[in-house]
């Protein structure tokens, strides 16, 4: 990374002009007049929008050598920009309809130029406003099933798979998840963030040996199960939507890990929004209607994810040892159990760990917010504790309904 400098908006314009000249992108005319501004993507990076006078635009995302939300005291490898671009390219080949397009990547400058999705909304903001997206479930199911199947041992040869696993070794960003998801919430740690009113609940979590065992097992699986190339950070802020479109962005946490992690994280974010609406929508009928939509979305997504997987496995499996319906069903049963566990862990870490969600933190009434936080903790605990004994997805849905009512 000898040539690395952190960009300003002026650098971004100059850089885009340079790559236009070299014909490395075709979005803008040769003589385009460009303007740029930086708007950040939250926790880690610099993000610029560069536009011309005709309304054409691109996004330039650059990794900083540290975590932006904490500062230079938390150094992070710039290689995450390469990982992100390469995950997008891999996933974009397998599921182009739901993956943001990479227009250009420069590993030395740790930057990627991406299609601008500014005409879409970020799912989190839309769901905070209780907007519904009837195609979201099927789009996420398609993205997660295709990207996970075609990067799994069912499809890749053992040699190809090992090459890809080494291509996506991502120690710095994996460590963030290992710590924030599976370790910090279960110990006293300065990174944790929760109101004093939750202290006794947090202490009960730290003293719950069965829950800590479940967290340890989920972490061990996250560390040592290179089943597929994960997105690695499928929360509602990583998904752009409108009524007909769903696009995944930001897979900088991508690596080969357990298939259940991505779908569990997605379901966890739907449930975080479900609980948050108890403190947001005051009219009961309206709230119930929206929460039913979220639960249907969760079930449709998991059902369709499983259907795609069963179909792909029966027609596309290349390893003869795995080519049986009995094995696929057994494998998917483990994926389901993992997904339930990771879903529960997401609920807990987003409530008492470092990185929260605006769905809950943005609830103005303090008592209402605390009640929601208590609910997400109980739900997270119960999902983690019951994950391994769920024998089917229908049992999981029944458990969810019993916990949410
Ligand atoms: C320091 S990064 C905090 C969180 O933001 C990312 O989007 C991941 O979810 C991570 O856990
Ligand atoms: Mg992100």
Within 43-201, strands assigned E span: 45-51, 57-63, 66-67, 71-75, 102-106, 111-115, 121-122
Q: What is the CATH number of the domain that holds 207?
A: 3.90.1200.10
Judge whether 4 lies within some domain.
no
193, 353 contact by CB (below 8 A) = yes
Q: Based on the domain organization, do 170 and 283 belong to the same domain?
A: yes
| Predicted local confidence at residue 41, as pLDDT | 65
For residues 45-49, give the mean pLDDT: 95
- Closest residue CA from atom 5 of ligand 1: 43
- Closest residue CA from atom 9 of ligand 1: 233
Q: Which of 233, 268, 347 to mutate to test the pocket of ligand 1 (most atoms within 8 A of CB)?
A: 233
Q: Which of 40, 43, 193, 358 to mutate to test the pocket of ligand 1 (most atoms within 8 A of CB)?
A: 43
Helix (H, G, I), strand (E, B) or coil at 46: strand
Q: What residues have a C-beta under 5 A from ligand 2, the ion?
A: 250
Q: How many structural domains comprise the chain?
A: 2
DSSP 8-state code for residue 56: -
DSSP string, 239-292: EEE-SS-EEE---TT--EE-THHHHHHHHHHHHHHHHHGGGT--SHHHHHHHHH
Q: Based on the domain organization, do 87 and 145 belong to the same domain?
A: no
For 145-194, what is each residue's pLDDT tens digit? 999 999 999 999 999 999 999 999 999 999 999 999 999 999 999 999 99
Residue 44 has pLDDT above 90, yes or no: no
Q: What is the CATH number of the domain that holds 84?
A: 3.30.200.20
Q: How far is the CA of 390 from the centre of ligand 2 (A)?
A: 31
In the predicted model, what is the mean pLDDT of the chain?
96
For residues 223-248, give the mean pLDDT: 98
Please report, rounded to a whole number, the percentage of residues in the chain having pLDDT higher than 70.
99
Residue 1 has pLDDT above 80, yes or no: no
Q: Is the CB of 176 under 6 A from ligand 1?
A: yes
Q: Based on the domain organization, do 233 and 332 belong to the same domain?
A: yes
Q: Is the CB of 355 under 6 A from ligand 1?
A: yes
Q: How far is the CA of 349 from the centre of ligand 2 (A)?
A: 16
Judge whether 2 lies within some domain.
no
Residue 97 has pLDDT above 90, yes or no: yes
**Containing domain of residue 190, as a range?**
121-404
Using the CB atoms, write b or e for 192-205: b if 16+ within 10 Å. Answer: bebeeebeebbeeb
CA gap 93, 96 in Å, rounded: 6
Phi and psi at residue 62, in whole multiples of 5°? -125, 130
Phi and psi at residue 113, in whole multiples of 5°? -100, 130
Other Cβ atoms less than 10 A from the Cβ of 5: the count is: 8
Residue 233 has pLDDT above 80, yes or no: yes
Q: How far is the CA of 322 from the centre of ligand 1 (A)?
A: 35
Atom of ligand 1 nearest to the CA of 181: 11
Q: Is the CB of 69 under 6 A from ligand 1?
A: yes
- Closest residue CA from atom 3 of ligand 1: 355
Q: Which two tokens stand for residue 303?
A: 């059902």
Name the residue with higher pLDDT: 68 or 357.
Answer: 357
Q: How far apart are the first and last CA of the chain?
A: 53
Torsion sign over Cα 168, 348, 375, 352: negative
- Give the residue from 49, 81, 115 where a domain finishes: 115
- Closest by Cα among 128, 100, 95, 132 to 243: 132
What separation in angstroms does the CA of 12 have from each of 8, 47, 101, 106? 6, 10, 19, 13
For 190-207, what is each residue's pLDDT tens digit? 999 999 999 999 999 999
- Give the residue from 68, 97, 115 where a domain finishes: 115
Helix (H, G, I), strand (E, B) or coil at 405: coil
Q: How far is the CA of 151 from the centre of ligand 1 (A)?
A: 24
Q: How far is the CA of 371 from the centre of ligand 1 (A)?
A: 24
| Predicted local confidence at residue 2, as pLDDT | 67
Q: Which two tokens stand for residue 317?
A: 């499996």
Q: Based on the domain organization, do 326 and 217 belong to the same domain?
A: yes
Of the ligands numbered here, which is closest to the C-alpha atom of 250? 2
User: Would you say the pTM of this structure is higher than 0.75?
Assistant: yes
Q: Is the CB of 175 under 6 A from ligand 1?
A: no
Of the ligands numbered here, which is closest to the C-alpha atom of 238? 2
378, 404 contact by CB (below 8 A) = no
DSSP string, 333-347: HHHHHHHHHHHHHHH
Q: How far is the CA of 12 from the centre of ligand 2 (A)?
A: 20
Residue keyed to tokens 């983690």 = 384
Residue 134 has pLDDT above 90, yes or no: yes
Q: Based on the domain organization, do 197 and 321 belong to the same domain?
A: yes
Of the ligands numbered here, which is closest to the C-alpha atom of 41? 2
Q: Based on the domain organization, do 200 and 287 belong to the same domain?
A: yes
């Amino acid at each position: 990374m000898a040539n690395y400098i952190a960009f300003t908006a002026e650098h971004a314009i100059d850089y885009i002009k340079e790559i236009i000249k070299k014909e490395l992108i075709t979005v803008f005319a040769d003589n385009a007049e460009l303007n740029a501004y930086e708007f950040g993507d939250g926790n880690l990076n610099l993000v610029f929008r560069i536009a011309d006078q005709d309304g054409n635009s691109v996004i330039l995302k650059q990794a900083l050598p540290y975590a932006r939300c904490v500062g230079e005291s938390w150094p992070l490898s710039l290689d995450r920009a390469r990982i992100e671009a390469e995950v997008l390219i891999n996933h974009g080949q397998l599921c182009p309809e739901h993956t943001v397009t990479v227009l250009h990547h420069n590993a030395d400058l740790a930057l990627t130029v991406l299609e601008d999705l500014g005409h879409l909304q970020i799912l989190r903001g839309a769901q905070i406003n209780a907007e519904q997206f009837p195609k979201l479930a099927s789009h996420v199911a398609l993205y997660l099933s295709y990207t996970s199947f075609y990067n799994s041992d069912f499809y890749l040869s053992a040699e190809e798979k090992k090459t890809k696993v080494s291509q996506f070794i991502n120690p710095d960003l994996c460590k963030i998840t290992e710590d924030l998801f599976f370790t910090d919430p279960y110990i006293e740690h300065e990174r944790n963030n929760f109101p004093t009113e939750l202290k006794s609940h947090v202490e009960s979590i730290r003293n719950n040996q069965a829950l800590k065992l479940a967290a340890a097992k989920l972490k061990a699986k996250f560390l040592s199960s290179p089943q597929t190339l994960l997105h690695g950070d499928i929360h509602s802020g990583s998904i752009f939507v409108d009524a007909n479109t769903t696009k995944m962005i930001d897979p900088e946490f991508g690596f080969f890990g357990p298939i259940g992690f991505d779908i569990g994280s997605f379901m966890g974010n739907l449930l975080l929004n479900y609980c948050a609406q108890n403190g947001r929508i005051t009219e009961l009928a309206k709230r119930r209607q929206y929460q039913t939509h979220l639960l249907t979305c969760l079930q449709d997504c998991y059902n369709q994810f499983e259907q795609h997987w069963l179909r792909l496995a029966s027609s596309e499996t290349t390893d003869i040892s795995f080519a049986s319906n009995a094995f696929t069903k057994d494998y998917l049963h483990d994926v389901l159990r993992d997904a339930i566990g990771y879903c529960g862990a997401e609920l807990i870490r987003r409530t008492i760990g470092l990185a929260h969600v605006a769905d809950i933190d943005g609830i103005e009434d303090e008592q209402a917010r605390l009640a929601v936080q208590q609910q997400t903790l109980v739900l997270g605990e119960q999902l983690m504790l019951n994950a391994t004994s769920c024998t089917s997805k229908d049992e999981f849905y029944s458990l969810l309904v019993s916990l949410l009512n």
